[in-house]
Amino acid sequence: MTDTALRLNRLLPQTQCRECGYDGCLPYAEALASGRAEINLCAPGGETVMLDIAGLLGKPARAPAKVQAKALAWIDEAVCIGCTACIRACPVDAIMGAHKLMHTVIRDECTGCGLCVTPCPVDCIHMQPVEADYLPQARSLSTQAEPRFAASAHALARYHRHQTRQARDAAERKALLAEREAATKAKLQAAAPATEAAAKPAFNPMDLIAKAMAKAQTRQDNLVTAANYDDFKSRQIEEAKQRALYRRAQRDMKYGNEAEKAAALAYLRQYKAEQEALKAAAEKGKTPD
Rounded Cα distance, 220 and 76, in Å:
70
In this structure, the answer to whether residues 111 and 157 fall within a common structural domain is: yes
In this structure, the answer to whether residues 156 and 75 fall within a common structural domain is: yes
pTM: 0.64
| Residue 150 in this model has a pLDDT that exceeds 90 | yes
CA geometry: angle 134, 13, 73, nearest 5 deg:
60
In this structure, the answer to whether residues 91 and 118 fall within a common structural domain is: yes
Please report the pLDDT score of residue 244 as a whole number.
Answer: 77
CATH classification of the domain holding 118: 3.30.70.20
Reference 39, options 62, 58, 23; nearest CA is 62
In this structure, the answer to whether residues 94 and 51 fall within a common structural domain is: no
| Residue 227 in this model has a pLDDT that exceeds 60 | no
**pLDDT cut 70: percent of the chain above it:** 90
Q: With respect to residue 289, please indicate whether it lies within any of the assigned structural domains.
A: no
In this structure, the answer to whether residues 154 and 88 fall within a common structural domain is: yes
Q: With respect to residue 252, please indicate whether it lies within any of the assigned structural domains.
A: yes
Residue-averaged pLDDT of the chain = 89
The answer for residues whose C-beta is within 8 angstroms of residue 281's C-beta and 6 or more apart is: 287, 288
In this structure, the answer to whether residues 82 and 160 fall within a common structural domain is: yes
Rounded Cα distance, 277 and 289, in Å:
10
Cβ neighbourhood burial of 92 (10 Å; 0-12, 13-18, 19+): buried
Helix or strand or coil: residue 104? Answer: strand
Please report the pLDDT score of residue 222 as a whole number.
Answer: 62
Domain of 12, in residue numbers: 3-57
Q: With respect to residue 26, please indicate whether it lies within any of the assigned structural domains.
A: yes
Pairing of strands 71-75, 95-96: unpaired
* 84 DSSP 8-state letter: -
In this structure, the answer to whether residues 84 and 150 fall within a common structural domain is: yes
Number of domains, the chain: 3
In this structure, the answer to whether residues 83 and 150 fall within a common structural domain is: yes
- Please tell me the number of Cα atoms within 13 Å of 253 on its side-chain side: 12
| Residue 225 in this model has a pLDDT that exceeds 90 | no
3-state helix, strand, coil in the chain (%, to 5): 55, 5, 40
Backbone angles phi, psi at 75, to 5 degrees: -105, 125
In this structure, the answer to whether residues 78 and 51 fall within a common structural domain is: no
Q: Which residues pair with 104 in a beta bridge?
A: 96
In this structure, the answer to whether residues 29 and 52 fall within a common structural domain is: yes
Taking only the tens place, the pLDDT of each residue in 78-104 is 999 999 999 999 999 999 999 999 999
Q: With respect to residue 121, please indicate whether it lies within any of the assigned structural domains.
A: yes
Cβ neighbourhood burial of 260 (10 Å; 0-12, 13-18, 19+): middle
CATH classification of the domain holding 14: 1.10.15.40
Burial 71-91 (b: 16+ CB within 10 A, else e): bbbbbeeeebeebbbbbebbb
Q: With respect to residue 206, please indicate whether it lies within any of the assigned structural domains.
A: no
Q: With respect to residue 261, please indicate whether it lies within any of the assigned structural domains.
A: yes
In this structure, the answer to whether residues 11 and 88 fall within a common structural domain is: no
Q: With respect to residue 285, please indicate whether it lies within any of the assigned structural domains.
A: no
In this structure, the answer to whether residues 78 and 20 fall within a common structural domain is: no
Q: With respect to residue 66, please indicate whether it lies within any of the assigned structural domains.
A: no
**pLDDT cut 90: percent of the chain above it:** 64
| Residue 204 in this model has a pLDDT that exceeds 60 | yes
Q: Which residues pair with 135 in a beta bridge?
A: none
